[in-house]
Structure 1
Amino acid sequence: MVIREQYLLRIRPFYDSEMVKVITGIRRCGKSTLMKQIMSEISKNKIAGDHIIYINFEDYQFRKISNADALYRYVEALITDDNKYYLFIDEIQNVDEFELVINSFRSTHNISIFITGSNSKLLSGELATHLSGRTVSFRIMPFSFREFCELKNGYEDGMAKEQLLDEYMRWGGFPIVCKETEEESKEVLLSNIYDAVVLKDIIMRNKVASPAALEKVLEYVIANSSLTISGNNIANVMNEEEQIVSAPTIYDYLRYMEEACICDKVSRYDIRGKKVLAYEEKTYVCDLGFFHLKKNRIKDEYNYIVETLCYNELIARGYKVYIGKTFKGEVDFIAKRGQEKFYVQAAYMLSDEKVVEREFGAYDNINDNYPKYVITMDRIMMSRDGIIHLNLIDFLINDIR
């Protein structure tokens, strides 16, 4: 088992907090396993087993707990004294009005609450209304490349990191997919995850009237990961294919996709004006396996793949990420975490002087002293003018600072 230390490190300070710990992420990214790792750590602190309550709503035995009243009765019956309890609820979005019960337990019992869900609306919608200021959230991603290497070295000891990166860039980091060795099995599992996310977390949850149109839009978004997209542009493409879908409907679809954690919309940030710009957002798919599933990779697309990979790595490390807008152009990423801030340019290879000038020149109009990086797959580093050139594998394996 891969211990997901980069997430545990961020969650540990809140183990005993009254804040509700909300763990979100796409379906099958490893939220349940992470929750069990937290439970294991808590149990080692001499916490009695009957004071750790675990409910997994994808487990058939909990099928009858489908509403707030049933959830309240079940948990209340297990709390028999005033000592500290730890409540873990997996895939809580399956319970109607769950937020009412969570708020009640938080305010009336000596309890630490952890919940997971495959929908980011857990924070922005249901929970925000009743628990404003009383939640702390953690976004979980599929395996990072570092975690992928940790897993794979147990199966295929001695594989070169370059080989592992090629496999990772092709099949992504969903744990259940990473454990398979046969490509046919990987493809089947990845397709099943994709279908489950589309059906359960997008179509059924949002009562989508035209699933076929939604899937077309989703395929377009995934195939164009790291590119600027808009509802109007997608509507034009759809109309050319004789599938009439309005721009407002497409914007709804994009919101559903983001809530299901299958992709992120990333805003541009005006570096000079120091403000977020509400236009020309880029979209990044959460796992490169989906990119492989929906678009055959060719050499010219490696730039998109590397950029998507770097974005997902920054999110997994807990950074807030923006596209940097300068006076004459843009920087791929501005990464912020607490007081930490740095810039990233991501590309496949610095294949000629024109590409070198494009990537390093992106920083010409940025005069602050925050660290600036160019990340590529080149083996020979060409750092210059205070701009640090990093090999992609070195970036993925090691902390950037």
Structure 2
Amino acid sequence: MEREEIIEEMYSQNPWWRSEPVKLPDKAVERNLMPQILEDLKSERVTTIVGLRRVGKTTLLKLIIEELSKELERERICYFSFDLAEQIQPREIVKIYSEEIIRKTLPELEERVYFFFDEIQKVKDWGNQVKSIQDKGYNIKFVATGSSSINITKGIGESLAGRTLVRRLRPFSFPEFLMYRNVDFERGELEEPIYPDNSEKLRILFNEYMEAGGLPELYEEMSLELLKQILDLVFFRDIVNLFPVKRTDVLKGIFRILVENTAQKVNYTKFARDLDTQYRTVKEYLQYLEDSFLIQRSHPYEGRRLKRYRKNPKIYVADHAYTNLWKCEEGLKAETIAFNHLKRIEKPFHLKDPEIDIVLPENKCAIEVKYKPEVRKSDAKPLTKLSNDFKLFLVTKENYGTWNINGRDVQLIPLWLLCTSTS
């Protein structure tokens, strides 16, 4: 791309330079991560925002830019997406910005300027380019996004080791979905949930959220065709182009099995046999799916860290929207939603003996999910085998209250109410 074309593209992507508003979707929700990113802007380190394609990384950047533009000259903010322009280099953008936009050399910068680089993983060796600028001590802050953790990590490499703040943007939580729908709610703590006055409204909206998932593009119209297109972009733009995938049929087959069996333990040998491939290929492809944020593992909770990571984990699909593409039991989908909510509080594990769905060791919480019309005390009995320092929860479809079982209190909490809680 010629220099004049790059300048034209930069002006196109930065309408605020022309005193035009920041272009945002009709319903742009302030994500839970936004306050943390705004605080990161004070740091000298490079902030990298990673997450699944279409979870809203670009919208988050635009919201941050809109907030910044209220306080400083708009020319001090430069956004550039490398999604369809990976042949352009970050140092080239910085150079043109210096010469054509602010018309100052970088050493002359008295006030900080901000570069927001979207889909930076498209650019090979981007970390060294950013480091070469940052090492000179210019008054510059870099914020970058990427759809693959491994490629962001490779881009950081040794050059930016210790100089980055990595932030994970996840699919929409239920509270973010409620904000999208402009519905007020009172957020309680996990240990003391607040049963709201508008519980009937929240239950109805939770059913919508359970159907649609955490990808905002699907909220106005649940389209399986659009969902397939999004998934294909992840496969062929974020995995196949970035990783050594020789058999895309096996990659897709693994993901489909994982979606249909989300919240279940993975059996690598069975996967290899069912998909007519090698055991090693299954393990490698599972790692690619995790690095691209499509899945997440839950390891067994045991005292010895090395021992817990040797055993086969449970696998959860990162967004329950994908369960619409294939058959998935409602109970497994419900456990996946609970897991994906609770991992915002801390990294979850599961327990083998007694068999417990989700354990939060730091918060000392044990959670069993029984998403069905009626629950019985026998559903909660495994929880009571844990030590007395654990708080016990039975996640239900509707039941709310407290049971005393074997001298232990078990809190019954509907899944929709759990999903409005914090730590």
Task: Please tell me the TM-score bracket, short chain as reference.
Answer: 0.7 to 0.9
Letter in 2 for 1:42: L
**1:314 corresponds to which residue?**
342
2:372 aligned partner: 349
Q: Cα 1:96–1:194, aligned 2, differ >3 Å: closer, same or farther? A: same
* Distance change >3 Å, CA 383–CA 136, structure 1 → 2: farther
| Aligned residues of 1:346 and 1:374 also touching (Cα < 8 A) | yes
Are 1:15 and 2:24 matched, yes or no? no
1:47 to 34, 56, 72: 72
The secondary structure found in structure 2 opposite 1:258 is helix
Cα displacement string for residues 124-179 of structure 1 (whole angstroms, at most 9, x for unaligned residues): 4331432222222221122112222222358xxx9933332222222212111113
Q: Distance in 2 between matches of 1:169 and 1:375?
A: 15
Q: 1:28 offset after TM fit, Å? A: 0.5
Of the three residues 69, 87, 102, the one matched with 2:115 is 87
Distance across 1 between alignment mates of 2:181 and 2:254: 34
Equivalent of 2:226 in 183, 189, 194: 189
Task: Give the distance between the partners of 1:9 and 1:383, measured in 2 at CA.
Answer: 38
Change (3 A) 1:71 1:344: farther
2:394 to 374, 378, 387: 374
Q: 1:318: Cα distance to partner? A: 5.1
Partner residue in 2 for 1:305: 333
Match of 2:358 in 1: 333
Question: What is residue 149 of structure 1 aligned with on the other side?
Answer: 178
Counterparts of residues 98-109 of structure 1 (less than 5 Å): 98-108=126-136, 109=138
Corresponding position of 1:323:
350
Residue 250 of structure 2 corresponds to which residue in structure 1?
213
1:257 is displaced (CA, Å) by: 0.6
Corresponding residue for residue 409 of structure 2 = 386
Deviation at 1:10, TM superposition (A): 2.8
Q: How has the CA–CA distance of structure 1 residues 341 and 122 changed in structure 2, closer, same or farther, with 3 Å as cutoff?
A: farther
* CA distance in 1: counterparts of 2:90 and 2:207, whole angstroms: 46
Amino acid across the alignment from 2:29: I
Are the counterparts in 2 of residues 269 and 277 from structure 1 also a CA contact under 8 Å? Answer: no
Q: Contact 2:356/2:383 (CA < 8 Å) preserved in 1? A: yes
More deviation, 35-44/69-78: 69-78
Greater helix proportion: 1
Equivalent residues of 1:72, 1:101 under 8 A apart: no
1:362 aligns with 2:390: no
* Alpha-carbon separation, structure 2, partners of 1:152 and 1:348: 25
Distance in 2 of aligned mates of 1:294 and 1:254: 19
CA distance in 2, matches of 1:159, 1:389: 18
Query: Are 2:359 and 2:366, in contact at CA under 8 Å, matched by a contact in 1?
Result: yes
**Cα distance per residue 1:280-325 (max 9 Å; x no partner):** 1111111111111122x4xxx222111100111123x353222245
Match of 2:5 in 1: none
- CA deviation digits over 1:104-140, x for unaligned, max 9? 2332222222111100114543314322222222211
Q: Classify 1:345/1:151 alpha carbon distance in 2 versus 1 (closer, same or farther; 3 Å).
A: same
What is the match of residue 241 of structure 1?
none
Letter in 2 for 1:170: E
Name which of 295, 298, 313 aligns with 1:281. Answer: 313
Indicate whether 1:237 and 2:266 are aligned: no
What does the per-residue CA deviation read over 1:52-75, in whole Å, with 9 as the maximum and x for residues that have no partner?
A: 1111123x5x4641x465455445
1:269/1:89 Cα in 2 relative to 1: closer, same or farther (>3 Å)?
same
Q: What count of residue pairs does the alignment treat as equivalent?
A: 372
Q: 1:251 to 1:178 in 2, by over 3 A?
A: same
- Rounded Cα–Cα distance in structure 1 between residues aligned with 2:124 and 2:96: 15
TM-score (norm 2): 0.80
Segments of structure 1 that go 5 or more residues without pairing to the other structure are: 239-243
Give the match's secondary structure for 1:209: coil
Question: Which residue number corresponds to residue 209 of structure 2?
Answer: 168
In 1, the alpha carbon distance for the partners of 2:212 and 2:317 equals 13
Q: Partner letter of residue 254 of structure 1?
A: L
> Against the structure 1 CA distance between its residues 231 and 211, is the aligned structure 2 distance closer, same or farther, given a 3 Å change threshold?
same
Shift in CA distance, 215/274, structure 1 to aligned 2, threshold 3 Å = closer
- TM-score for the superposition, normalised by structure 1: 0.84
Question: Is the 8 Å Cα contact of residues 80 and 117 (structure 2) preserved in structure 1?
Answer: yes
In the other structure, the counterpart of 1:36 is 62
Partner in structure 2 of residue 178 of structure 1:
219
Contact 1:144 1:173 in 2 (8 A): yes
Counterpart in the other structure of 2:290: 258
1:284-295 aligned at under 5 Å gives the runs 284-295=316-327
**RMSD over equivalenced CA pairs, Å:** 2.6
- List alignment gaps of at least 5 residues for structure 2: 1-26, 184-198
Per-residue deviation, residues 181-218 of structure 1 (Å, max 9, x unmatched) = xx4xx222111101111111111221422212221112
